[in-house]
Amino acid sequence: MVSPPRAGQSGPMMATRGTGFEDAPFEDARFGDAPFEDAQVDRSAGAPATDPRLPARGAMTRLTAATVLSLGIIVAANSVATAEAPYRWWANFILVPALVFLTVSVGLPRAARETRFTLAWIGAIVLTVALLLMAGRMGELWPLMIVVPCLGPAGLFALRPTDGSLRAFVDTVAGLAVVGAALGVAFLLIRADVVDPGDLRWWGFFMLAGAVVAGVNGLILLTARRGTYWFSMAVLLIALGGYTTLAAIAELGR
């Protein structure tokens, strides 16, 4: 229906009352009920851009490569295990979940670095257990169960919290993890007869190292005087370092 032109108009105006064209957004069939304006369109190429809801191509490539590598590890581990008696087939029930953790940590799309790191850390611990059990070497290489778990907390050095108290706490935990990993390496060297400490209570030196880590971080925080409850945290770390020092001296003096 054509309405008569009003004053100031040069031509007829089509009536749109009741049609609903002015309010209904165009729906793209590729995205179901999503309006057309929500779809990302590359105007220069004339084709829609990559749907952000789909996983990235690089993540899928890493996931595929990690899956193939995991299958290769399973085949290789079982091939070596079957050459020795007895064949500990039940270790596969530990090996497979470990490789799943590692595979997901590599190929999980749009995951935070912290999430990937945590999954890889858990997978590494479980993988170490599985391989030691499958090889029947847990009794000889058990110090690896000290080294590998300590590697995860040692990675906290990469975090740099803005709060001074939190940074001192994180650095203390990471430093103690490094000391723990070094303790595991020392156990490995002693069991392999590379080092012979004799009757020396050598673990007391690692206690001293842990005391130094806690005490130094406490003194740094006390000097900086920054952070939430910085004084309480500094006193706590210094007290921990002092008590551990006394315990280490007593252990070495026995």
Scanning the structure block, which residue is given the tokens 């039940």? 90
User: Is the separation of the CB atoms in 180 and 148 below 8 Å?
Assistant: no
Residue of higher predicted confidence among 141 and 53 = 141
> What distance in Å separates the CA atoms of residue 196 and residue 190, rounded to the nearest whole number?
6
pTM for the full predicted model: 0.71
User: Is the separation of the CB atoms in 201 and 248 below 8 Å?
Assistant: no
Lowest mean pLDDT among 35-44, 92-101, 137-146, 217-226: 35-44
Q: What is the DSSP letter of 37?
A: G
Residue 243 has pLDDT above 60, yes or no: yes
Query: b/e map of 102-121 (b: 16 or more CB within 10 Å)?
Result: bbbbbbbeebeeeeebbbbb
Burial of 31 (0-12, 13-18, 19+ CB in 10 A): middle
Burial of 17 (0-12, 13-18, 19+ CB in 10 A): exposed
pLDDT computed for residue 113 by the predictor: 86
Q: What is the mean pLDDT of residues 94-109?
A: 86
> What distance in Å separates the CA atoms of residue 199 and residue 212, rounded to the nearest whole number?
24
pLDDT computed for residue 13 by the predictor: 47
How would residue 38 be classed by pLDDT, with cut points 50, 70 and 90? very low
How would residue 36 be classed by pLDDT, with cut points 50, 70 and 90? very low
Q: What is the DSSP letter of 29?
A: G
Q: What percent of the chain lies above the pLDDT cut of 90?
A: 43
As given in the structure block, the two tokens for residue 183 are 């303790």
> What distance in Å separates the CA atoms of residue 106 and residue 70, rounded to the nearest whole number?
11
